[in-house]
């Protein structure tokens, strides 16, 4: 039986050069005029996934 990659993971997770997983933060799509510059700046870069979540995500991406 073949191992399948979860589609939601490959769409939402990026693997960094040091094999850590990076997710994009929420709340940066619309209604940006109501948010402060500080709130938009905090949301600028992705979020490195914790060690506990890394194990779960790597199981759902078997072909890396």
DSSP string, 13-38: EEE-TTS-EEE--SS-SS-GGGS-HH
Judge whether 3 and 61 are in contact, CB under 8 Å.
Answer: no
| More confident site: 2 or 30 | 30
Residue 64 has pLDDT above 90, yes or no: no
For residue range 12-24, list pLDDT tens digits in order: 999 999 999 999 9
* Cα 8 versus chain centre, distance: 10
CATH architecture label of 7-60: Irregular (4.10)
- Going by pLDDT thresholds of 50, 70 and 90, the confidence category of residue 63 is confident
Judge whether 3 and 58 are in contact, CB under 8 Å.
Answer: no
Residue 4 has pLDDT above 80, yes or no: yes
Residue for token pair 């939402």? 12
User: Taking residues 15-38, what's their average pLDDT?
Assistant: 92
User: Taking residues 33-44, what's their average pLDDT?
Assistant: 92
């Amino acid at each position: 039986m073949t191992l399948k990659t979860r589609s939601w993971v490959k769409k939402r997770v990026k693997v960094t050069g040091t094999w850590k997983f990076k997710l994009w933060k929420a709340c940066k799509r619309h209604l940006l005029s109501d948010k402060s510059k500080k709130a938009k700046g905090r949301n600028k870069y992705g979020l490195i996934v914790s060690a506990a979540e890394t194990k779960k995500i790597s199981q759902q991406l078997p072909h890396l």
